[in-house]
A and B are shown apart, each in its own frame.
Chain A
């Protein structure tokens, strides 16, 4: 009986998962893997076994593979960014640790000082899953602190983008404002009771007393709780502008002053209950909105990260692997103009690294054997071999991608439109409110101020400002799911306006999935190996193909040089080897309708050529037909041999330009832009990086070995190129959805306004309606994107 039970329910002492394959035993306790066992060993060595007493199997399953190092945290720039306090003897950091889940977690994390004396104090915030750590920077490095957390299973999630301390402060002051507004609102209602029940006739003195109490209670509401609205409106006035807070502020001021006049002149009780209630509900609305958006937040999750690959040495060969599968100790090879994806140690004798993406310094740095190369550096010239030191993090690369160096000059367009619409709209609302005010002045002066305020409240166009970020945010996710990874939401807007599409040929329209390179030459085995060694250095699709098609032992090359659009050259064992176009190599040009030719020379003597049949990507024709006249041109760095093939594919109306250098491509794009066209450039991101940057939208198409080109706006998986037209139309429909959201919010405003103008809406109800309308607009835009995407993309 007992034995059956143990067989069935052998649960890991640490993480509680069923022990399956490699059960390990230590001190008669079962562990599902050596990772869990290691944590137990660490804890028991430090007398921290109480961890296991507080909760059953509290541990986090340790995936040994996921080991990462945090050495980048010791960089001064990064330290500054994430530490909340730093001095020579005391530093404070708040880590977000998603793995926190039980009492034992709290206990262990708050006893971290027993694991390392450098940690002075640690405090867990369970609700936010955060750990605040005070440590002595002289005794323990920040990277060591992070590694310590990781070693016991609590991997900190480090986000260099946001500044966490800020949001908290805002939240707190909102709660205080809310509390004071609520307090005053409640008390004012209480003191208005005699008023409500019509008791004021009996004792004038008492009712005056209540009125004055109300007056005093309304001050903190006006000067503290509602001050944000006044301030924002005032700021706008100063800049001679008008924003959505202006009508709110106007309404508040109207009610407040009118009530003061009534009470001080003893002509009436005022509207202070409405006034305070209004502020209270406005603040509740704001708080509730904040909560809703938090849960809808479209923070880029891992799905929308772009896949990139590098060549990793595996089983005696170079194989492409996705960068986030890179482990510490992996040997990778980075070629000319490729970006180092992870902090690594140089294994080649020397290398030239361009850190301009990271530091802005454009002069390449020399690195020697054993030097640490930071992620984001770009290899120039001779390819280098590296040993990965730190697991890479996608967020690092994403932030690199969004760095200012690659930002397009054009600013976000929709923001301008929204601002101008909101401004006009506010004027209109103010106008309507004034007319209403005058009308009610004639009809019934007692209601005048309430109606005026209701009109101002209910017409607030704040939904306008919310619709755009939510529409584009969900769109970004949809694109990510279909393997188009966009840099940011502005790209979608630019994509919607595209009316000219320019394709690069090699690597984009054609690809090399089925390698088919015929080598005709008189080279011996040694020389073939040299050619392979050279070809492997380049990221050009043809070089990749050549490298795959021939075999030989790879040797190190010297003085590697790549001339875009021409070819590559290097020196091996004192022989100059060139691979490239006939011109470059000095060979007799050849031409064939179906093949590309790449020539090889050794010591400037033509020795042979590769003939490569490049296959056109599947299913491109229907996509190009659907795009129709929007296809503008095909640019190619090669010669005209593919002209006929391309004509069949693209039709005759399209311009075909061959023998284009990267600069020619850029110029061509600039020219059609001067003709007033919005250009989408689809390229491989290698010899057309300039064109990708120049184009309104530049999309790099990648296959298995993606090259990270920060100049582009989006990265598209090669197999998804056939969806290009659909993705474009999806981008277009996102602006339709945006317009529909605007229409919806106008519709709301129109209906509510008509009620308010006719005096059927009290300011209180208006204040409640306002956030509800905003939330429904946001909900509409998110759902509409999902709906449109599923209709447009799954039918195919």
Chain B
């Protein structure tokens, strides 16, 4: 029966680890905005020149006029 004490301690430790991770996530602002990052990751480039992918953009622009 003593093993249950050990098991409970282990489970509690793991739970506390998750709690700490959650708190860290809240503190670091990960829940402030749950939408924008999901979009941002799909943008092609965040470079400063913005010229390299211009060609492909024109194609997309045309496509989006007559969808």
Contacts and interface: CB of A to CB of B under 8 A. Distances in A.
Nearest to B33: A125
B24 to A, nearest CB: 10
A106 B36 contact: yes
A180 interface: yes
Given A52-B61, A127-B33, A179 B26 contact: yes
A743 interface: no
A110 B23 contact: no
Contacts of A56: 64, 67
B48 A179 contact: no
A405 interface: no
Interface in B1-36: 1, 4-5, 8, 12, 15-16, 19, 22-23, 26-27, 31-36
Q: Which of B5, B64, B67 has the most CB of A within 10 A?
A: B64
A92 B40 CA distance: 21
Given A50-B60, A125-B36, A128-B33, A213 B8 contact: yes
Nearest to A30: B65
B38 to A, nearest CB: 9
Given A126-B39, A172-B27, A183-B15, A203 B1 contact: yes
Contacts of B48: 113-114
A110 B15 contact: no
Given A49-B58, A56-B64, A179-B22, A125 B46 contact: no
Given A13-B65, A124-B36, A127-B35, A206 B1 contact: yes
A29 to B, nearest CB: 7
Contacts of A645: none
A187 B35 CA distance: 32
Interface in B45-62: 46, 48, 50-51, 53-54, 57-58, 60-61
A47 interface: yes
Contacts of B51: 47
B12 A179 contact: no
B54 A172 contact: no
Given A47-B54, A114-B48, A175-B26, A168 B32 contact: yes
Given A49-B57, A110-B43, A187 B15 contact: yes
A183 B19 contact: yes
A52 B64 contact: yes
B15 A48 contact: no
Given A13-B65, A126-B39, A172-B26, A50 B57 contact: yes
A111 B49 CA distance: 10
> Taking chain A's interface residues, is the majority helix, strand, or loop, or is none over half, making it mixed?
helix
Contacts of B39: 103, 106-107, 126
A209 interface: yes
Contacts of B32: 125, 127-128, 168
A106 B65 CA distance: 20
A247 B4 CA distance: 40
B65 A126 contact: no
A183 B23 CA distance: 11
Given A103-B39, A172-B26, A213-B12, A53 B60 contact: yes
A351 B66 CA distance: 59
Nearest to A52: B61
Interface in A182-237: 183, 187, 191, 203, 206, 209, 213
B43 A107 contact: yes
A172 B31 CA distance: 9
A180 B35 CA distance: 26
Contacts of B8: 191, 213
B57 A53 contact: yes
Interface string A19-56: 00000000001000000000000000011111011001
Nearest to A172: B26
A48 B26 CA distance: 34
Contacts, number: 82
Contacts of B46: 110-111
A125 B36 CA distance: 6
A126 B33 CA distance: 7
A124 B54 CA distance: 23
A441 to B, nearest CB: 35
A755 B58 CA distance: 72
A191 B16 CA distance: 15
Nearest to B58: A49
A415 interface: no
A13 B53 CA distance: 21
A176 interface: yes
Nearest to B18: A183
B60 to A, nearest CB: 4
Of residues A46, A113, A126, which shows the largest number of chain B Cβ atoms within 10 Å of its Cβ? A126
A108 to B, nearest CB: 11
A176 B23 contact: yes
Nearest to B9: A213
Given A126-B35, A179-B22, A206 B4 contact: yes
A114 B50 contact: yes
A49 B35 contact: no
Nearest to A186: B15
Contacts of A48: 50
Contacts of A172: 26-27
Nearest to A178: B26
Given A172-B26, A179-B26, A106 B40 contact: yes
Contacts of A53: 57, 60-61, 63-64
Contacts of B4: 206
Nearest to A217: B12
Contacts of A46: 50
Contacts of B44: 50
B9 to A, nearest CB: 9
A128 B44 CA distance: 24
A107 B53 CA distance: 14
Contacts of B34: 127
B11 to A, nearest CB: 9
Contact of B26 (A103, A114, A176, A206): A176
Contacts of B61: 49, 52-53
A102 to B, nearest CB: 9
Contacts of B50: 46-48, 111, 114
Contacts of A50: 44, 53, 57, 60
Nearest to B43: A107
Interface of B: 1, 4-5, 8, 12, 15-16, 19, 22-23, 26-27, 31-36, 39-40, 43-44, 46, 48, 50-51, 53-54, 57-58, 60-61, 63-65, 67
Given A56-B64, A114-B48, A127-B33, 6 more contacts: A50-B44, A50-B57, A107-B43, A110-B40, A206-B4, A213-B12
15 contacts: A48-B50, A50-B53, A50-B57, A50-B60, A53-B61, A103-B39, A106-B39, A110-B46, A124-B36, A126-B35, A127-B34, A128-B32, A180-B19, A206-B4, A206-B5
Nearest first, the 4 A-B pairs at minimum CB distance are A53-B60, A126-B36, A125-B33, A126-B35
